[in-house]
Structure 1
């Protein structure tokens, strides 16, 4: 059966249209891949990073993200500076040390850091067995103390707290292990105490406090906070953890999401990514209870001590938020 002239023309048009679409798809710019470095898998930050990456992958037409576990703050900052990852979380005080070249980053300024948004709060939390004779941080002299992975933000915080009470790694027996390993070691008696920097009620700490009777030590002296102004004195309410039926005072800071100038995200790139992240917050906010409570647009600038990426400034201002001058990058 012969096709009519109109039918032949229609077939040709359809073939040409299909070829055009296939050609456009073949030459479409590939999506850019980037890595979000988080922390250990036992806390709130790794599942948050995974869920945020999934949200980006679902809703961005430009980017493909993946999240990876890491040794957290210090490692993430160094890896961003070396171009190994593009985004990473850090405790605010650790990022401030890096940006200014002070404390553990003395002589090694990392001025390429660019803040994106604040995430969860992080508390320095000190646990001992419930029947321990240790009543204050000063009593840890000569004790076996878990201080976290070497060079991690938590380990740096542990060192600062111990130093305030006149202790160092020569006067205690430090154990440089992960938070999950510290939980196991405290429970089986191979540690006398553990110092960690975590969101409240992280998976590791709930595991510890629901399976083993503990006490918590306070860092209540106002002088500590005057000497370490990047920390706030925060209260962990009685009953937050099983068997801890008293208030605990402890250092608190925010965990911030960063990128680095090495990653070469344009202002438009960052605006787009933050718009995706916060527009679809419902898709990642349930990754952890502390994420649900604290990682919000309203609190996105809280506790940041390093200037924002210019694209982040534009994004927050587009939402009617006032960005403090101290967070605006110098031109």
Structure 2
């Protein structure tokens, strides 16, 4: 591991100043992803700027009736918060599905959004990877790719984003707040993650040296009837091979509002807007659900060893929305 410095900060301006002075420094939250990448040699920061003592660890009502979540809130505290569990249950479920209790106690909301892919070619510095070393190639396309992307990939990268939390957040139109040398800013989470294109090493639209300060969930009555479903290769804690965050408001058999997002199928959390549009305002029938799932997945371009993800996601859409409709009818 490369020798590195360590600084603990207690205000945002000090944190920004340290990264401005050293472009190879990195912010350290829980360290559950960054430290692993440092051990493998993928990340080689000159300095770690510990932000855990910044005053960003609160979950508070937003002025518009939504919920504001500070960047250093731990995953455990987020999943246990009564307002999150009551108003956005799929978010609490996604967090609980994401890792062991020990990891949730350390991992932070801001760090979760910035975690890197678990593609084995990315984490092995002895192998080429366009995400780690632009222009070196993507061996996953011809190699091991059974858990790689089927949506939104390119010939330059087929890795998937590992976050469970981000799937639920994007379904509920979360907005990311940040501070940078140019002042505060915010952007919808849907715009936060960049398409792969020909530059897979550029993963987010966060300005260089910026610090995520929080995430805001707008008020969404539909989110109260929501659920997160994760499929993985073992019952214990593992990364998803496919997941869905869904919320549904159906009255008299007609869909009044719907939210749908996929995980583990693309380089970023995938908002299933085509399926949402097909179902919005229409009757909630089995035929409509299958048609909506097929419309969303018509853009899928699976590789030889991950074609199973298409029927997997199709079945998840129908099963989870059916469960939510039955629950709402009780």
Q: What's the TM-score, normalizing by structure 2?
A: 0.25
Q: Could you say which structure has the higher helix fraction?
A: 1
**Greater relative CO, 1 or 2 (CA 8 Å, sep 6+):** 1
Q: What's the TM-score, normalizing by structure 1?
A: 0.25
